[in-house]
Amino acid sequence: MSTNPIFTGAGVAIVTPFHEDGSVNYECLAKILEDQIANSTDAIVICGTTGESATLSSKEHLDVIKYTVDVVNHRIPVIAGTGSNETAYALKLSNDAEKAGADALLIVTPYYNKASQRGLVKHYNYIADRVSSPIIIYNVPSRTGVNVLPETYAELSEHKNIIGAKEASGNLSQIAQTIALCGDKLDVYSGNDDQIVPIMSLGGKGVISVLSNICPKIAHDIPSLYLDGKCKESAELQLKYLKLCNAMFMDVNPIPVKVAMNMMGMEVGPLRLPLCEMDDAKTEKLHNILAEYGLV
């Protein structure tokens, strides 16, 4: 992997807390950010999928990035989600995030349009040519309908500004092929909390984590132990928290993690439609799992 990654370890894919009226709760966001930093989180990923970026207005999106940059104040990297299914809008978001002081950009594949692999190359290179910040490609086919193939990563990794991938395809064979093809030109991060150790065993640099919202120290320790050569201890911790990792995806992300945070007294508020609360049976199941881990 590259000699100068944006971060190694665990970056938190942080939620966006809302007031009951649906407006952004900045006071709560500041508390969450401080708590993450105090618990050794290695990077903040703001306005990603878990941050409900799809329902933030352009102004809110930029305001949340700016606020996060100000609160974090260079203590750890801030990576801003700036992807869109319109290349021009993704570029505008990216340029705005750069001006706001973000350290790097997380750019999801264009969703719904279902770009070809050739289209993906054009999309990412168009943006990369017009920004100065490092870009992490976000591959999450289950949400976008698009999958970045290893050969496409290899072509994109030739661009000096395209330095990483958040891999949430779940396909370890494909991820292995990507790392084999790209070598030190692409830093690969697990996009799934249940695959941190397997991906790091192939040369991955860590995780962009949903789990970290409720267990920042654990999410940090799994990759940190691995990086320290304590592979067995890392794997044991991964397996110990597997049930909790899976519980965060018992409904559409970020529904379970926000419900869990509210159960834990973190008061992150409601979800924005079309996301909504879970049914009673799932809510009870989630509460029981949190109780098993001593979180409620």
pLDDT of amino acid 4? 84
74-105, pLDDT tens digit by residue?
Answer: 999 999 999 999 999 999 999 999 999 999 99
pLDDT of amino acid 3? 60
50-76, pLDDT tens digit by residue?
Answer: 999 999 999 999 999 999 999 999 999
Confidence of residue 1 (pLDDT cuts 50, 70, 90): very low
Burial label, 12 (beta-carbon count in 10 A; 0-12, 13-18, 19+):
buried
pLDDT of amino acid 60? 98
- Residue 268 pLDDT exceeds 90: yes
pTM recorded for the entire structure: 0.97
Over residues 223-245, the mean pLDDT reads: 98
Active site residues: 138, 166
Query: Which domains does the chain possess?
Result: 9-230 (3.20.20.70)
- Residue 29 pLDDT exceeds 70: yes
Confidence of residue 140 (pLDDT cuts 50, 70, 90): very high
